[in-house]
Amino acid sequence: MLLWVGLGNPGPEHARQRHNIGFMALDAIAARYRFPPWKKQFKGEATAGAIGPARVLLLKPQTYMNLSGDAVQAAAAFHKIKPADIWAFHDELDLAPAKLRVKQGGGTAGHNGLRDMQRALATPDFGRVRLGIGHPGDKARVTGHVLGNFAKDEDWVAPMLDAVADAAPLLAEGRLADFATRVALLT
């Protein structure tokens, strides 16, 4: 079983914020592959289903971004999922809007959700699906940018989420370069 974690903050007031693009990606995947309704589990909302040949547990921690690791650790321990089979879908300031990068392991680049996952799992050896939201240009504006809602004229968001859902079987098969290429071709 794979564990795909969307990073974000719970509650309707955060639903359209850039910081919640990880939740949005998992919602698109769950809808595309007709997963059952989300249910409260593991300090979050979870659903599971098949994507290609893989069984995938989707998890949206409801602990706020800075404590995401608690939910991830609970789900991983219950299902005995190794860190190498865990993928975090998260916002990335250092990528232009609609750009995506994938990698296994690595640092946190200052992302508090990744930092807490690393703490809870006691390793950096989990995957990252970095979803570009762009940088506001000034460090003083970063918090307002990530916690701000997507603007109506940011028409790249829905096509990117659709592309991530479309390419999800490639990620489930471990074909990282093919997954990234497919998303790039569709956006």
pLDDT band (50, 70, 90) for residue 107: confident
pTM of the model: 0.94
- Per the CB < 8 A criterion, the answer to whether 78 and 42 are in contact is yes
CATH numbers and ranges of domains, the chain = 2-186 (3.40.50.1470)
Query: Beta strands of 52-126 (E only): which ranges?
Result: 54-61, 86-92, 100-104
Question: Please, what is the average pLDDT of the chain?
Answer: 94
**What pLDDT, on the 0 to 100 scale, is given for residue 129?**
97
Q: Edge to edge, what strands does the sheet with 86-92 contain?
A: 39-41, 44-51, 54-61, 2-6, 86-92, 127-132, 100-104
Q: How confident is the model at residue 83 (pLDDT cuts 50, 70, 90)?
A: very high
Give the pLDDT band of residue 151 (cuts 50, 70, 90): confident
What's residue 152's pLDDT? 86
Query: Which tokens in the block code for residue 129?
Result: 């699906």
Measure the CA–CA gap between 127 and 171, rounded to whole angstroms: 10
- Residues designated catalytic: 19
